A and B are shown apart, each in its own frame.
Chain A
Amino acid sequence: MAQIRQDDSFPQSQAAALSEPVNAAVPDILKRFPGRRVGMSRRGLLRSLLSSAIAIFGVLTIVFFAIMLTGNPALLLASPSATHEELEALTRLYGFDRSLPEQYVTFIWNIISGNYPRSLRLNASPLEQIIPAIPYTLSLAFSAGFIAISMGLVVGYLSVFSRHKLLREVPLNVLAVFQATPVFVIGLFLVLIFSIRLGWLPTGGSGSVKSLILPSFSLALMFAARIAQVFRASLHQVASAEHVRAARTRQISRQEIRLRHIVVNALLPVLSVLGLEIGSLLGGSVITESLFSRPGIGSVLLVAIDNKDYPVIIAAVVLISVIFIIINTLVDMVSALVDPRTEASL
């Protein structure tokens, strides 16, 4: 805690940091009450972006090593029936005969510029398969996330503030059971009830909004419990904080206190959990897409694994990770919005 103590009478550095020439602006400012300084500072933004860049590079490095570990990368990229000459050509083309650092640089450069080796199946860039699939995956991820967060927050809130004992305990425990259930079991269960028995919703496909409902719910139920638990614990902790007591002395309604001082403050730990859970969300989406026959990146990846179509595999893995990293960075930024202190620690 190397905070430089300032003499209370005139903290100059603070004045400098929040410089606003009071004298000059007096007539205007008398009308407007200054609001929050919204958003991150430039420095914080840069740091976030730098972190993400490093993470992306890291992922690419891991993928690179995974490829190299197989011994002969050319074999991965060539079709099974390739002749020796074709293999040689490939090797020279992608520089597999050069030194490791050179290969690394070439690899990174290729990935960044979108220059992937051709997919074996379609003999076209893997991006042609993957890019159309992205909207399906994103829509699933976001709707599942939205459902999970809403459910989690509501259940968490109820478990603390509801007046009815049942409402406080039952939803939380129900969600906890779902937490221990694999996503495909939940999915099959939901399909059994809502598609087969009741016929309300389709068993799969990609067309309508209706086809999004069951997959989203299967995925969401996986981690709604965690969000509810974290939110609940956080609410308890914030509710006993001193600033809530201070708010009680003011002439504002209990509702305002609860919302503004307790609930919003309690959201911060939820955000950090969210960042971690999104990884499982994206992983789970692969299984969900398979179960519900949604043509997202996960499906593309699985088909490629089946066909040993390595260029597509590499591209899909990289893209999913990049999406993950981007979402994580966004979550970090939102954290900084909610609690200005986090920016200091970023």
Chain B
Amino acid sequence: MNAGNVLLEVEHLLVRTGCDDTSAVLASNVSFKLHHGRIHGLVGESGSGKTMIANAVAGLLPEGVQASGRILLQGTNLLALPEGAARQIRNAHIGYIFQNPKAALNPRLTIGYQLREALVPEVRRDEAASLKRVLSLLDEVGIPNAYARLTAYPHELSGGLAQRVVIAMALARDPQILIADEPTTALDMTIQAQILDLIDNIQTQRHFGVLLITHDMGIIHDRADDITVLSGGQIVESGLRRTIFEAPRAIETRNLIEGALLDESLPATDDASPAGSCIYSVRNLKKSFVTQSNHRSTLHALDDVCLDLCQGRSLGIVGESGSGKTTLARILLGLEIPDSGQILYKGDDIARLSRQSRRGWRRSIQFVFQDHWASLNPYQTIFESISEPLRAEGLGREERARRVLEVMQDVSLPQHLAARRPGELSGGQLQRAAIARALVVRPQILIADEPVASLDVTVQARILRLLEHLKAEFGINYIIISHDLRIVKRISQDVIVMKDGVIVERGTTRDIFSKPQHAYTQKLLAATPGGMRS
């Protein structure tokens, strides 16, 4: 708890897109201190200015954006120095970890080359010394077989590996400050935990200061010592971790905490409602793909998968990338055909449905896509997109209008947005529109693939509440697919955990979260940010 020396002090930082009156203010009056040996978390939604502040400290502001105020690094005000001198000091004392590791690496140069480039010039000049240093850095970030890796190219690495390399580059010059800008957003959950653990370990060993920027309050809860909460470019609250979480004062802070779904208690979704009849059953589903790339290999997407969706209970499917969850969803919808196995809709095999009943089946299952930016036709208005299923049914214009208005009201989408096009809507509004389109035919089952991914934290909470409300009002059964256990916990009564095309564990939400049986489930729970450890 004893604060060490102050490594970085930011005073009244102002970040603007220009110098005149027409410029937009990205951050204003921001002040905080980073202490030796502590992790300081800058948390806020997208647009809160946290990234811009980090950029200002690191000297990576985009063209045209200006910073004024004081940024004191080792007592020197970086903003008062000419650019060349400021850059020299920054590069020597600050290490930066980027959000998208593969993008941060030059695709046409080897890892080894870029690592060497990151070294201090004196070491860089000498080949043997460079080699030794680079190998030790790779060792420090936990990359095995380091020498062989040096000739690898960025596209040959997995996301987690690439991020370790980026961290190695950040450490290359023995900085005193490490700035981690959303270091885990692009990664799978288990990998996220690994990377964050790595940063923790390095911080403990090297004893420097870390500025951790994220929108996920769960990560802050687990890792940060001091916290500064930002909203709209201004600090709304700051303090020690304990204080912030035990007694959050600002509304934004509370929203962020709620959005991170950090409740220790079990959710209300775990009602003891009796399972109704089975409306959707899957038996022994198998599906493989032959990859088109250089190495023709068979990817077993699904291997002997069975599940049941019962009336009145929602199902959550959890898995990381490559687990087969998306393939499963697509097969359930009829977008892909399985290699073997059966899918029963109300007892009938869907492969054998008559034309008439097939249409009924189609209408009763609807889908909300993962990428909400691309799930609505950008050339059509919202009205046209939502009414498309009705149009396909042959409804008249007035009837369609009536139904669309009705469903827009159900999802709380303002009426005037109907004439707009997707490009003019925000992320949350688009997601509502996508949900509206799925609901307009009054389906029985709604499959949602990552329904709240890439949405702002507060918007996430709202959408989840909307889903709960719709379920209560219309009795829809959900199949929610997500990589994030927190979301599944909130919405579904039953959970299935998938890995590499196989279901490793299934059960009710309560059981899975309190008594996970399989090792992978336990690993996932442990990796989920924010007090979900069982």
The residues of A with any CB-CB pair to B shorter than 8 Å are 2, 4-6, 8, 10-11, 14-15, 18-20, 22, 25, 29-37, 43, 241-243, 245-252, 260-261, 264-265, 338-341, 344
Tell me which residues across on chain A come within 8 A of B113, comparing CB atoms: 35-36
How near does chain A come to B120, taking the closest CB pair, in angstroms?
Answer: 6
Known: A22-B148, A242-B98, A341-B107. A2 touches B155 (CB 8 A): no
Contact B91 A243 (CB under 8 A): no
Q: Could you list 16 examples of A-B contacts with CB < 8 Å?
A: A2-B289, A2-B293, A14-B157, A15-B144, A18-B151, A30-B132, A32-B131, A34-B110, A36-B151, A243-B103, A246-B96, A246-B105, A246-B166, A247-B106, A251-B91, A265-B106
The residues of B with any CB-CB pair to A shorter than 8 Å are 58-60, 87-88, 90-92, 94-96, 98, 100, 103-110, 112-113, 116-118, 120-121, 127-128, 130-132, 134, 144-153, 155-158, 160-161, 166, 169-170, 173, 188, 190-191, 194, 289, 291-294, 297, 299, 320-322
Tell me which residues across on chain A come within 8 A of B155, comparing CB atoms: 340-341, 344
How near does chain A come to B136, taking the closest CB pair, in angstroms?
Answer: 12
Contact A261 B161 (CB under 8 A): no
Contact A30 B128 (CB under 8 A): yes
- Closest B residue to A343 by CB, please name it: B294
Contact B152 A251 (CB under 8 A): no
Tell me which residues across on chain A come within 8 A of B158, comparing CB atoms: 5-6, 8, 11
Most buried by A among B113, B121, B289, B294: B294
Give the residue of A10, A36, A248 whose beta carbon is less than 8 angstroms from that of B59: A248
Tell me which residues across on chain B come within 8 A of A19, comparing CB atoms: 148
Contact B297 A246 (CB under 8 A): no
Tell me which residues across on chain B come within 8 A of A34, comparing CB atoms: 110, 112, 147, 150-151
How near does chain A come to B325, taking the closest CB pair, in angstroms?
Answer: 13
Q: Shortest 8 CB-CB distances between A and B: which pairs?
A: A5-B322, A242-B103, A8-B160, A18-B148, A246-B104, A2-B291, A243-B106, A20-B148
Tell me which residues across on chain A come within 8 A of B148, comparing CB atoms: 15, 18-20, 22
Contact A243 B105 (CB under 8 A): yes
Kindly state the separation between the CA atoms of A139 and B380 in the bound complex, as whole angstroms: 55
Contact B94 A249 (CB under 8 A): yes
Q: Interface SS of chain A: helix, strand, loop or mixed?
A: loop
Kindly state the separation between the CA atoms of A224 and B112 in the bound complex, as whole angstroms: 36
Contact A340 B107 (CB under 8 A): yes
Tell me which residues across on chain B come within 8 A of A252, comparing CB atoms: 117
Tell me which residues across on chain A come within 8 A of B293, comparing CB atoms: 2, 344
Tell me which residues across on chain B come within 8 A of A18, comparing CB atoms: 145, 148-149, 151-152
Most buried by B among A2, A242, A250: A250
Tell me which residues across on chain B come within 8 A of A35, comparing CB atoms: 110, 113, 151
Kindly state the separation between the CA atoms of A22 and B96 in the bound complex, as whole angstroms: 30
Kindly state the separation between the CA atoms of A37 and B108 in the bound complex, as whole angstroms: 11
Tell me which residues across on chain A come within 8 A of B120, comparing CB atoms: 251
Most buried by B among A10, A37, A251: A251
How near does chain B come to A40, taking the closest CB pair, in angstroms?
Answer: 12
